[in-house]
Structure 1
């Protein structure tokens, strides 16, 4: 149960491998400080708000919100299984962009906002950075969690498969992709 004076680690969750690593980091910080974890999954209608309002075939917002809630539950289950995180924990589904939803949720000066640092390399400039938005706009400390080296290796493997390049199974266990 959330108390007004309880420290909070607010963490963005999308279900991606990076967000699951970020969720684990938020739980470690909560365990270390006695904080509650508030896991936030931000969602928007497909195509954005304007497209949703104008579309005669748009899915009902209640269905979209329910789907977002199911994605959040799946992400928490993928991260912790049936055992759960082992700290006071709440999930929150927020309609809006990820950066804004996180900054508005982490609205106390003693909150800790935990976000993934986002992609590195060539993809970095192609997408708006939630982490940069949070660092620029948050009124509380922001902890950015770098991507796992495993994520980079997995992305390299996916590229090799997509390009139909040979993959040696020994590379999968030796750590070299």
Structure 2
């Protein structure tokens, strides 16, 4: 089954930027574009048919603009009536990726991630890309990297790395893989861990070897994608954000499991989403 690139729109400036981003990505990947607008009947405004027509007119105007820019792109639209979170989460389930808009006012303030976007990211079973208002194709210019965070064992970041390499291959871009590390507390050392560190030659060489091992399967699968390995001491969120200025897309992972208080994004993804000044892809993993 061919999965579409799905864009959630609501007529706002940021959602139109997300739609434009989604259309460009669909063209690059040779995939269809699906445009979804979830709406709810507003009481005491107009009858159902009139309100639905208003929604349809707005979506058709946005789609017309995209179609004029990308001749031949297959575009479908859906106007389901229902709650945005549930509707967009369901739309993500059979999409290659879901693209949403998020307001932003510069690299200091960063994204203003609303409750809908935050809940969809936490619940979606597929990658979700957040695009800020004002995003333009010029930001995807040659020389900017696909920056991806890697942590833990190779399997922990496999989904995010796969997404980053696939995106880089479609764009002819470089993958910049980032692994951050910090000094572990004294009680975390054990004879086994000390032996591994000694064999690796120290903490930083150990982290570099761990990043190289995680990247190797994807280097083999995508031999034409240039890769830069970046290992730096510091918190993962801070190190990734320091790379945002050279990124055309930032890719981070999140664990696809629920806690007692519901699904959560995770501190690293949360920080990057709110402060990176480039589009951010959040990729769920087991």
| Shorter-chain TM-score tier | 0.5 to 0.7
- Unaligned 5+ segments in structure 2 are 1-140, 187-196
Matched, 1:112 2:245: no
Contact 1:27 1:85 in 2 (8 A): no
What TM-score, normalized to structure 2?
0.41
Shift of 1:81: 6.5
Map 1:66-145 to 2 at 5 A.
Answer: 66-77=205-216, 79-80=217-218, 82=220, 85-108=223-246, 111-122=248-259, 128-145=266-283
- For the pair 1:31 / 2:205, whether they are aligned, the reply is no
- Structure 1 unaligned spans of 5+: 49-58, 152-177
Q: Deviations over 1:90-127 (max 9, x none)?
A: 1110111111111111223x521001123420177899
- Name which structure has the greater RCO, CA cutoff 8 Å, separation 6+: 1
In structure 2, the CA distance between the partners of 1:83 and 1:122, relative to structure 1 (3 Å rule), is: closer
Q: In terms of Rg, which structure is larger?
A: 2
Contact 1:43 1:96 in 2 (8 A): yes
Superposed CA RMSD in Å reads: 3.1
TM-score (norm 1): 0.64
